């Protein structure tokens, strides 16, 4: 069995990353989303162990001290981290894994697992981004202003990634995201592992 691929998907808040990723894994059964640990408070409709593993600051810092995280970062005064052991087990099982993390976490992951594919998602304009943040109805005006400022900083790191998707039309962006996964699965190294018996048999016959 060919090992799975690790994908990093990053975007500024409000770019539509989560909606795109969630829809993609619904239609692509080879792909799963990594469930991160976070100290953020649980939001209405979220479930522990499904959306995140929700822990307090003491537990999170204990995991840092034990070296349990593949990456971790502080975002909007909360910590987020990815369990290394969970990622490695899923890759061995042949699953493709999406890490929804920011550029700080992406840098940490690349230092430990170099064979990763980075995808960055941008909104089509600053006005569209602000409208999406307002339409979510989750944040005050002060928080929206802060998120807009942070979005500029986050977006400046887009050139550290392998692929760039502009999420203007949702269906088009979804098709482009799927195209990245299809291309990666057709890479020679992965196809040779997946189809080794067939290839070996074919070459034996031809020789």
**Separation CA 102–CA 92 (nearest Å):** 24
Give percent of the chain above pLDDT 90: 68
- Domain 6-32+95-206 CATH class label: alpha beta
pTM of the model: 0.84
* DSSP-derived 3-state class of residue 25: helix
Which two three-digit tokens encode residue 7?
A: 């994908």
**Could you report the per-residue pLDDT of 18-53, keeping only the tens digit for each?**
999 999 999 999 999 999 999 999 999 999 999 899
Which two three-digit tokens encode residue 196?
A: 């080794």
**Separation CA 13–CA 147 (nearest Å):** 7
Average of pLDDT values for 155-181?
97
């Amino acid at each position: 069995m060919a090992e799975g691929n690790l994908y990093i998907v990053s975007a500024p808040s409000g770019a539509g990353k989560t909606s795109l990723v969630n829809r993609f894994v619904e239609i692509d059964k080879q792909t799963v989303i990594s469930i991160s640990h976070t100290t953020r408070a649980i939001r209405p409709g979220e479930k522990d162990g499904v959306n995140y593993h929700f822990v307090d600051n003491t537990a999170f810092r204990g995991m840092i001290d034990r070296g349990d995280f593949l990456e971790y970062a502080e975002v909007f005064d909360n910590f987020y981290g990815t369990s290394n052991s969970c990622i490695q087990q899923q890759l061995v099982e042949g699953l493709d894994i999406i890490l929804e993390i920011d550029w700080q976490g992406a840098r940490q992951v690349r230092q430990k697992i170099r064979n990763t594919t980075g995808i960055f998602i941008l909104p089509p304009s600053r006005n569209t981004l602000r409208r999406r943040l307002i339409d979510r109805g989750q944040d005050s005006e002060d928080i929206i202003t802060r998120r807009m400022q942070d979005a500029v900083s986050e977006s400046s790191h887009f050139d550290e990634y392998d692929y760039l998707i502009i999420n203007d039309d949702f269906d088009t962006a979804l098709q482009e995201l799927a195209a990245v996964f299809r291309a990666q699965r057709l890479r020679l190294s992965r196809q040779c592992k997946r189809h080794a018996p067939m290839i070996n048999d074919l070459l034996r016959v031809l020789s």
